[in-house]
Chains A and B, each alone.
Chain A
């Protein structure tokens, strides 16, 4: 009799797993969701549905707002200001624009590429949707409604980090003010949901990353060879 009960319990558990699987399909069952990497846990179509409805799953928001500690590598190379994929690294007018595209699953806190002093924090607001947005960020076919540009004076010259949201979010937090000193890898702000980050650096800098590479904010060296001023 005990054996029969044990067998029935095991079969019921298995049946419950399959019912949950069928109920949530194509999204993963809650039994395995936590064990899957974020991209497998919340398919992009699901996140876009939440964006449309404005109702987000709490576990997703917890993941989205996560802010893990990062340790900058030794040396004086510039570290990536954001997590994401390198979209382009074009040079125009003596400035190289390293464009990093963040996805829904990337950590959305931005970090300073070098130690220095914040020269300015320029905001470009809700109405900023003209062609200029495409031009300076080289974001082909991407609208950039809200941007913040942090200019940093470093020992190797002036740099700028441009935080850009997508149409979906339109919110950027900056955590540093003009005149404030920042350390290499220090948190400087956060883009909510959307997002692209552009690092503007002198064209003379030697890039250490290429288009399509994955970078991590505050950890991945992205350029070196800046001449100290």
Chain B
């Protein structure tokens, strides 16, 4: 995968960033749910949209870095 998954002796920075971002995003969503009175459907939609944007930026940054 051109260094996305694995890179000379360690996990690829792409998959590593994606895993960390996903975990932190999930925990952050939990905090938002506790602090804000927000409808569950809206929270899930926001969570999914934010994850897609974040993951997209990570992938984009990875490929741009490879150029």
Contacts and interface: CB of A to CB of B under 8 A. Distances in A.
- Do A and B form a real pair? yes
Interface of A: 1, 3-4, 7, 10-11, 14-15, 17-18, 21, 25, 28, 32, 36, 40
Contacts of A11: 16, 19-20
B51 to A, nearest CB: 15
B24 interface: yes
Given A14-B20, A18-B26, A4 B9 contact: yes
B34 A28 contact: yes
B19 A17 contact: no
A4 B10 CA distance: 4
Given A32-B31, A36-B34, A40-B35, A14 B23 contact: yes
The 5 closest A-B pairs by CB, nearest first: A4-B10, A14-B23, A3-B10, A7-B11, A40-B34
Interface of B: 9-11, 16, 19-20, 23-24, 26-27, 30-31, 34-35
Contacts of A28: 30, 34
Nearest to A7: B11
A21 B24 CA distance: 12
Given A28-B34, A36-B34, A17 B11 contact: no
A14 B19 contact: yes
B11 A18 contact: no
B9 A3 contact: yes
Contact of A18 (B9, B23, B35): B23
Nearest to B22: A14
Nearest to A35: B31
B53 to A, nearest CB: 20
Q: Which one of A3, A17, A32 has the greatest number of beta carbons of chain B within 10 Å?
A: A3
Contacts of A17: 23, 27
B52 to A, nearest CB: 20
A219 B4 CA distance: 59
A7 B26 contact: no
Nearest to B35: A40
A187 B24 CA distance: 45
B5 to A, nearest CB: 12
A175 to B, nearest CB: 36
Contact of B27 (A10, A21, A40): A21
Nearest to A5: B10
Contacts of B23: 14-15, 17-18
